[in-house]
Amino acid sequence: SQTIHQWPATLVQPVGSPLSLECTVEGTSNPNLYWYRQAAGRGLQLLFYSVGIGQISSEVPQNLSASRPQDRQFILSSKKLLLSDSGFYLCAWSWRNTGELFFGEGSRLTVL
Amino acid sequence: EDQVTQSPEALRLQEGESSSLNCSYTVSGLRGLFWYRQDPGKGPEFLFTLYSAGEEKEKERLKATLTKKESFLHITAPKPEDSATYLCAVSRTGNQFYFGTGTSLTVIP
């Protein structure tokens, strides 16, 4: 069976500090990978998706970036966090071009 | 522009009181419509995929239906453990999924 792991689960960071969230998928090969952000009381906003190693598509221009160094690893980064980066970040995967999305447990980021 | 709108934003039901949640969408070339359940502080849990108008899917007390412009999630005789936020999403390309803001359901014993 397939599993998705996301970490850290919770982090509190000062404004201007860097960020690294990691996500790995087990039990499948060549998945599509996604990063979403969910602000309080709002829907899920698609940030990045990837269809393969080194292939990243950005949905929302901002100070975040994503990388896919290995087939089943997806990393969300920032060099300098803003207050507006606070939120609940969710990693997800899907089989190629067939939906459905399967989500990790999420990472709650608070920027102070 | 692809859009997904869910209503109502919040719904309170007595245990056993059936109701429906709505998801309306505007997307050309729909590849699929998806329903998820999200508990507080957790990632969304996949419930259903619907691909074409007229399709229906059922799981326990939940039944999802699809028309050309909207989808309904029917909840029959809900229980307190059905309390959660229910999210609807659409996909046009198969690689990108766009979510509504969800319906927060509370079932009162």
Residue to test with chain A: of B30, B57, B99, most A Cβ within 10 A = B99
What DSSP character marks residue A83? G
Taking contacts as CB-CB distances below 8 angstroms, the residues of chain A near B36 are: 101
* Minimum-distance CB partner of B43 among A42, A90, A96: A90
Q: How confident is the model at residue B27 (pLDDT cuts 50, 70, 90)?
A: confident
CB atoms B46 and A102 under 8 Å: yes
Q: Which long-range contacts (CB under 8 A, 24 or more apart) does A51-58 make?
A: A51/A96, A51/B95, A57/B95
* Direct distance between the N- and C-terminal alpha carbons of chain B, in angstroms, rounded to an integer: 41
Q: Do B95 and A97 touch (CB under 8 A)?
A: yes
Residue of A nearest to B99 (CA): A44
What Rg, from alpha-carbon coordinates, does chain B have? 13
Q: pLDDT digits over A55-65, tens only?
A: 998 887 678 99
Q: How high is the pLDDT of residue A61?
A: 63
What tens digit of pLDDT does each residue of A27-39 get?
A: 998 999 999 999 8
Alpha-carbon gap: A105 to the closest alpha carbon of chain B (Å): 5
Q: How far is B19 from chain A (nearest CA, A)?
A: 22
Query: Is the CB of residue A77 less than 8 Å from the CB of residue A19?
Result: yes
Local confidence band at A80 (pLDDT 50, 70, 90 cut-offs): very high
User: For residues B88 and A98, which has the higher predicted lDDT (pLDDT)?
Assistant: B88
Closest CA to B38 of B98, B103, B90: B103
Q: Is residue A93 over pLDDT 90?
A: yes
- Which residue from B29, B39, B83, B37 is spatially nearest to B64, judged by alpha carbons? B37
- For the ranges A10-19, A95-104, B3-12, B71-80, the lowest mean pLDDT is seen at A95-104
Residue-level pLDDT at B96:
80
Who's near A61: CB < 8 A, 6+ residues apart? none
Averaged pLDDT for residues A2-26? 96
**A105 closest CB neighbour out of B43, B46, B49:** B43
